[in-house]
Amino acid sequence: MPIKNRFAEMQPEIAAWRRDFHTHPELGYEVHRTAGIVADKLRAFGCDEVVTGIGSTGVVGVIRGKANTTGRTVGLRADMDALPITEETGLPHASATPGVMHACGHDGHTAMLLGAAQYLCETRNFDGTAVVIFQPAEEGGAGAKAMCDDGLMERFSIDEVYGQHNSPGMAEGSFAIRSGPMMASTDEFEITLEGHGGHAARPQMTVDTGIMACHLGVALQSVVSRNADPVERLVVSVTSFQTSSAAFNIIPQRVVLRGTVRSMNPDQRAMARRRIVEITNGIAATFGGTADIDFPEGYPVLVNHEDQTDHARAAARIVAGDCAEAPMVMGGEDFAYFLQERPGAFIRLGNGDSAGLHHPAYDFNDEIIPAGCSWLAGMVETRLPAK
């Protein structure tokens, strides 16, 4: 079966929605304009129920099929938030908000799920209930967790949940997925090293945080090279050094290091967290200083469920004729929280030869809209087949 003809017909309209979202990007939980448009359209489509304010600014639409003999519910999710990046595309629909742009394609994800919702409201050719989920704050704000904490799964009786993300560099309109771990956990750390600052010409009168920071940056690399199982995937990156002084002749009182830890394995994740704390405290003590470590837990590993992955792959093959095996990647995705609550799967949709995600020249490819909408609607129709 090719892409649904209805979505080919709807493509210009859905692309116009997408470009409007692109021109008016919003960050984190402050997606008030986007969420308002989404809710208005869902009501206009004829959703049986539209609920706003889930997880702060999330929107949920409920669409009931022609029958409900199974009592089952399938959830479909799109993210709505943008990124704090200055756009450099020069396109007519470029961001009108300085310093904010849709550099990850969430504008496209939202538009495609709206298109699927309109189709499902028109046809209702399924036995059960479809729940369309529009989520804020995927980019570091854990909006998925906020919606789950707000009772999303229980309130709407969701049995399975599915999501998709565009992928630059993958063939336009193609799909890729894998069962099991697919995207990494994403922990961030901030380490404040405290010493005793002073004149650079009298280092003996100081406790040098610069020396501490240099040793620590190198030593933290041993977590991967000497503590991690070599067959496991683990990344420890120190990405920022900030001193309390920028002068050439001052040894700083304080240095702040920031970085990230990425893992595909909860045990390796826990080991890395433990070793970073031990190494940091040890080096600070060795040089006579102290360390304060802020190390909150970030997104968990995104783990696709086996049966649901098979169903997602089958639906992708119906749309595109094939579905590749996706590689593991060390980027994170808060859809992982949904997959901790319910069985489901997350799939990649090829964006073609575009700039990469989170790049100022990125733009979502409107030509993939029919494929993405077809897969979303297909997940409902194949998981809740009409009698």
Mean pLDDT of successive 10-residue segments in the chain (387 residues)? 81 98 98 98 98 98 97 98 98 98 98 98 97 98 98 98 98 98 98 97 97 97 96 96 93 97 96 98 98 97 98 97 97 98 98 98 98 98 95
Write the CATH number of the domain with boundaries 5-183+301-383.
Answer: 3.40.630.10
Packed helices 5-23 and 369-383: angle between N→C axes, nearest 10 degrees: 120
Q: What percent of the chain has pLDDT over 70?
A: 99
Q: What is the pLDDT of residue 387?
A: 85
pLDDT in tens, 30-62: 999 999 999 999 999 999 999 999 999 999 999
CA distances to 78, 83, 202, 218, 290 from 359, in Å: 20, 10, 45, 29, 38
> Residues 6 or more apart from 87 whose CB is under 8 A from it?
94, 95, 101, 103, 360
Average pLDDT in the chain: 97
DSSP secondary-structure letter at 137? -
pLDDT value, residue 246 = 86
Per residue in 142-177, pLDDT (tens digit) is: 999 999 999 999 999 999 999 999 999 999 999 999
Pairing of strands 344-352, 175-177: antiparallel
With 0-12 / 13-18 / 19 or more C-beta atoms within 10 angstroms meaning exposed / middle / buried, residue 226 is exposed
CATH topology of domain 185-294: Alpha-Beta Plaits (3.30.70)
8 A C-beta contact, residue 134 and residue 143: no
The radius of gyration of the chain's CA atoms, rounded to the nearest angstrom, is: 24
- Across the chain, the runs of DSSP E, i.e. the strands, are 49-54, 58-64, 73-79, 129-135, 160-168, 175-177, 180-183, 185-194, 198-199, 234-243, 250-251, 254-263, 290-294, 302-304, 324-325, 344-352
- Which of 383, 384, 369 lies closest to 310 in space, CA to CA? 383
- Inter-residue contact 74 to 149 (CB < 8 Å): no
Cβ 163 vs Cβ 338: under 8 Å: yes
Q: Can you give the residue ranges of every domain in the chain?
A: 5-183+301-383, 185-294
Separation CA 56–CA 218 (nearest Å) = 41
Q: What is the pLDDT of residue 1?
A: 41
pLDDT tens, position by position, 64-81: 999 999 999 999 999 999
